[in-house]
Structure 1
Amino acid sequence: MRAPRGTALPMLFAALAGAASVFSFAPFGWWPIQFLSLAFLFYQVGMDTRIKRSTLIGWAFGFGWSVAGMHWLYITMNRFGHIPGPLAVFFVCLLGVYMGLFGAFAAGVSTWLRRRLALPVTSFLLVVLPFAWGVSEWMRGWVMTGFPWAASGYAHNISPLAGYAPLIGVYGVGVIAALCAGCIVMLTQRARMLGMGVLASVLAAGFGLTFIQWTEPVGQPITVRLLQGNIAQTSKFDPEHIARALEQYRTMVMAEPADLIALPETAVARIPQNLPPDYLPSLQQYAASSGSHLMFGIPIADGPGMVANSVVGMSPGGRAYRFDKQHLVPFGEFVPAGFRWFVDMMRMPLADMTRGAEVQAPFPVKDQLVLPNVCYEDVFGEEIALQLRSSARPATMLLNVSNLAWFGESVAIPQHLQISQMRSIETGRPMLRATNTGATAVIDGRGNVVASVPNYEYGALRTTVQGMGGMTPFIRFGNYTFLLLGALALAAAGLLSWRRRAAPPA
């Protein structure tokens, strides 16, 4: 599709503006940059009613946003997948081409609605564009199994907009962020006072909402130990190093008892049938003798070609627990149709893994109920909310086990920590993180990191954690709230525009 005359330069600037948004996320945390980044896009789209032009500019913005926000995938492909550097860059850009389609959707559909409904610029900037942006990010979270990393709402775990997260979730926060960007663009219009008023009101309301306690303490606190083995990815699955890693983690487990001792994803890197006969029994014996509950990542084979990425729990009384990862990673845990060539190119011994049930029970630890999720499963907040509201006994704390060594010394680790913080804010529950190289941390029910182990270091985090119970609005209704509110606002804007057109001339 050929760009309209005069669009190439705005597309370039839009891509740069989208790329600048990376500084709004961790580890930088300069969240106001996101308002300015989105404001640039909205200004470019709002000042022209050509659908094709808006679509191309939206695509360029989404391309820049995705490539900058997920550039660490280059490390996975080049360092660990052995793909040559230029080709790895190409594949990262190819992902950006796909992700840019969601930005194109937001800008193109918004402009189409503006022309179709004859909307004034105020409704366009304050209703249509913000809602379309939020819908595009929501779609990015489930189309083609979903890849919602760097959704705009994650930048606001430390901003006043965090107060909206327990109500409308991260995508709803993204809509509010886009609304703030629309208000900034309104400062260039005649109705600048309206823009200033809405911006101030939105920020003030969000700040006020942060003082609401949606959940309450449940039971007695438990002591936890979160282990970080810092095992290099190049040796993690090397047969010569697996035995050493197994012994390392067993030593770490037995160093000190705790109510809950949690190990990272695939800390035990072999299926049980291939472990030394005494390995798992020795852990169970330690759990019984020390009064500790153990949770650790391990692959479990239920039959030929049926391997699950699992979390196993051992209790002092001998009660066994198992959680299987449900939301699998494309190219990491299953091969999308038609892409076996890509996996073969990376020389990864990958087969399709089996999926866990959509709703799985939490693991009882004294007075608390611990619900695990594996690696990037915690990017899907609506799935965690579904588990909490569907469980007969909802979890009182969450546990993420991860291995982010795949991404080297990049921004992926602080970004993932920020994602976990948003899950805590949405659900009002503490999140425990046991990871291989970082970020191993404890996050309280308000999204604050209260304790952590330095990244890329061997260590164990010991602390006390209070479980939380109760339901936030987001747990109860998931993403339906922001979708319904946005649809109502859009309908109201269309109705007002129709009545304005239908009114007889003065």
Structure 2
Amino acid sequence: MLTPTTSELPSENLTMKAIFLALTSGLFFPLALPNEVFHFGSPLLGLVSLSPLYLAFVFARDRRSAVYAGMVFGAVSTALGNFWLANFGEFSAWTLGGPILGYIGYNGLLAVALYAVSRFDANLRPALFAVVWTAYEFLKSIGYLGYPWGLAAYPFAGLSAFTQIADVTGVYGLTFMAVYLQALIGELSLVLSGYPRARDRISGPYPRSMGPSRMIAHGVFALLLLAGIASYGVYRLADDREADTHLRVLLVQQNTDSWAFGNEEETLETLIRLSEDALSRHDADLLVWSETSLRVPYASYADGWYEQVPRGRSFRDFLRASPVPLLTGSPYQHGGAGGAAWNAALLIQPDGEISGVYGKRQLVPFAESVPFWEWQAMRRFYLDIVGIQAVWEPGNEITIFELSAMDGPVFAAAPICFEDAFAGVVRDFHRAGAEVLVNLTNNAWSETDSAQTQHFTAARFRSIETRLPMVRSTNAGLTSVIDRHGRLQESLPMFEEGVLYAEIEIFREQSLTVYSTIGDSFAVLMLLLTAVALIQTCRRPETVE
């Protein structure tokens, strides 16, 4: 039976209570995620940060107060968790203000669904809350506006035994478990506070709890789920078979301001200096520079600008003396000089020839790509009001680079910048034959550690989902090596110059993971269950006690 929580108190008191609880979660949820205090997040806060939000919808008198609560949570959690977007160049008001306004609306809609399932019997609502939340995180992580930051699973990314389930369910399996536990903690607070059970016929300002015996049953079920997830994780982590070969890489972190006009030559000098020093000390198979390290389009100016700059020892001179190919970020004008450009990864051989190109497919909305740019009126608006001067075109194909290692070829994919946070993008690379992921990123503009570690935390789940190792070559952090279990192996300090040498384990001819085979089926199931629950609430009228 659907039993809405009601009250004899004035409605504004319940509204304020729901808003206060939502505000509490809005403050603590960003602290559970990677932030400036806890650089890799806090698992302890990750177990309780959404519990007040759960209670907000239980206590909400009506749908309107629930929507207010959801909007408050959306505004506060987005602003605190993504404050570094304010450093995004001259149009930072749009890059931060846009997401805040967007998530106010998005969480207002989410609140309608969460309020609806909170009207179900108390014995069902913790699981339904987790189902709806998981469906929400899936929807916000896909498509043109996809933004897979701030997921409920991220505080637990360092607990390897619990994250391995991602090779079956994707990151969303851990999201469901994390939110279910937090909903149970919220429910437990009702039981311990002595709130009546749903079957008790008592009127007054009381939400209905599930009762002690049902609470114990839910607790036992949750512990069994956790034990199963951890057991699977231990089993996967015990896979210690030897690698078929190793790829020796040098990851260069130049720590320069790639957005500063006129410092292209200085940046090249730094990259060349760091690279030559590292190459003199290490035998390597591949040299890797970060996203748009070559800011002048290399393919269009290889025989001109790059033959002359840096002065004294040009980039082309450096290439000729290099014993290994260079994988680097650069604009790529696929229509020729002056034509449309990709944000691209280029594999450049020592003779200067480009042996492979990948154009970034998942572009940052309203920064790298804007809708209706081809319309003159909209273009003037973006140029004159927003401050966006140019946009990238999305790449049109999946590229797998063939690299040479000691024991034969190695096949690599190069997701660019935040593409390594998108499960579907990386899954496509895996299905196309990638054996290693080489991410090229520039987050230096953020000027914060938390922006770097948030990005890194999202990326490490891609290695678990595909069982592929990942190396991340960045401008200022977090340059790192992630093994196929999602564990951090090595890294460089953030916002410092440096070069990281690593020997990456390559496992050939391994079968696709369950996740790479079935994709986001678990998340889609959560979406379908959400739809069924919402249809059920529409078909049955609420009754007021």
User: TM-score normalized by structure 1?
Assistant: 0.85
The structure-2 alpha-carbon separation of the partners of 1:314 and 1:173, relative to structure 1 and needing over 3 Å to count, comes to: same
Contact 2:41/2:154 (<8 A) preserved: no
Q: Determine the structure 1 residue equivalent to 2:436.
A: 397
Q: CA deviation at 1:113?
A: 5.0
The structure-2 alpha-carbon separation of the partners of 1:340 and 1:466, relative to structure 1 and needing over 3 Å to count, comes to: farther
Q: What amino acid is aligned across from residue 422 of structure 1 in structure 2?
A: F
Q: What amino acid is aligned across from residue 185 of structure 2 in structure 1?
A: I
What is the alpha-carbon root mean square deviation over aligned residues? 3.1
**SS of the residue aligned with 1:19?**
helix
Q: Determine the structure 2 residue equivalent to 1:431.
A: 470
Contact 1:254/1:286 (<8 A) preserved: no
Q: CA deviation at 1:62?
A: 2.4
Say which structure, 1 or 2, has more relative contact order (CA 8 Å, 6+ apart). Answer: 2
Tell me, yes or no, if structure 1 residue 328 matches structure 2 residue 329. Answer: no
Moved more, 167-176 or 427-436: 167-176
Higher-Rg member (1/2): 2
Q: Determine the structure 1 residue equivalent to 2:250.
A: 225
Query: Sequence identity of aligned pairs in percent?
Result: 22
Contact 2:164/2:236 (<8 A) preserved: no
Q: How does 1:163-202 map to 2 (within 5 A)?
A: 163-187=164-188, 188=190, 189=209, 190=211, 191-202=214-225
Q: Determine the structure 2 residue equivalent to 1:270.
A: 296
The structure-2 alpha-carbon separation of the partners of 1:101 and 1:365, relative to structure 1 and needing over 3 Å to count, comes to: farther
Taking the aligned partners of 2:252 and 2:141, their CA distance within structure 1 comes to: 30
Taking the aligned partners of 2:222 and 2:181, their CA distance within structure 1 comes to: 6
Contact 1:19/1:67 (<8 A) preserved: no
Where do 5+ consecutive residues of structure 2 fail to align?
Answer: 1-9, 191-208, 309-313, 373-377, 540-545
- For residue 69 of structure 2, the aligned residue among 54, 57, 72 is 57
Q: Determine the structure 2 residue equivalent to 1:25.
A: 33
Q: Determine the structure 2 residue equivalent to 1:309.
A: 343
Q: What amino acid is aligned across from residue 307 of structure 2 in structure 1?
A: P
Contact 2:18/2:60 (<8 A) preserved: no
Q: What amino acid is aligned across from residue 198 of structure 1 in structure 2?
A: F
Q: How many residues align?
A: 474
Q: What amino acid is aligned across from residue 276 of structure 1 in structure 2?
A: Y
Taking the aligned partners of 1:254 and 1:171, their CA distance within structure 2 comes to: 43
Q: How does 1:209-224 map to 2 (within 5 A)?
A: 209-213=232-236, 219-224=244-249
Q: Determine the structure 2 residue equivalent to 1:133.
A: 133
Q: CA deviation at 1:109?
A: 1.6
Contact 1:335/1:351 (<8 A) preserved: no
Taking the aligned partners of 1:282 and 1:333, their CA distance within structure 2 comes to: 32
Q: How does 1:323-362 map to 2 (within 5 A)?
A: 323-337=358-372, 338=378, 341=381, 344=384, 347=387, 350-362=389-401
Q: CA deviation at 1:481?
A: 2.5
Q: Determine the structure 2 residue equivalent to 1:36.
A: 48
- For residue 103 of structure 1, the aligned residue among 104, 107, 114 is 107
Taking the aligned partners of 1:4 and 1:382, their CA distance within structure 2 comes to: 44
Contact 1:163/1:208 (<8 A) preserved: no
User: TM-score normalized by structure 2?
Assistant: 0.79
**SS of the residue aligned with 1:267?**
coil
Taking the aligned partners of 1:339 and 1:426, their CA distance within structure 2 comes to: 39
Q: CA deviation at 1:145?
A: 2.5
Contact 2:172/2:522 (<8 A) preserved: no
Taking the aligned partners of 2:91 and 2:530, their CA distance within structure 1 comes to: 49
Q: CA deviation at 1:470?
A: 3.1
Q: CA deviation at 1:485?
A: 5.8
Contact 2:359/2:397 (<8 A) preserved: no
Q: What amino acid is aligned across from residue 310 of structure 1 in structure 2?
A: A
The structure-2 alpha-carbon separation of the partners of 1:243 and 1:316, relative to structure 1 and needing over 3 Å to count, comes to: closer
Taking the aligned partners of 1:174 and 1:428, their CA distance within structure 2 comes to: 19
Contact 1:46/1:125 (<8 A) preserved: no
Taking the aligned partners of 1:19 and 1:344, their CA distance within structure 2 comes to: 36
**SS of the residue aligned with 1:258?**
coil
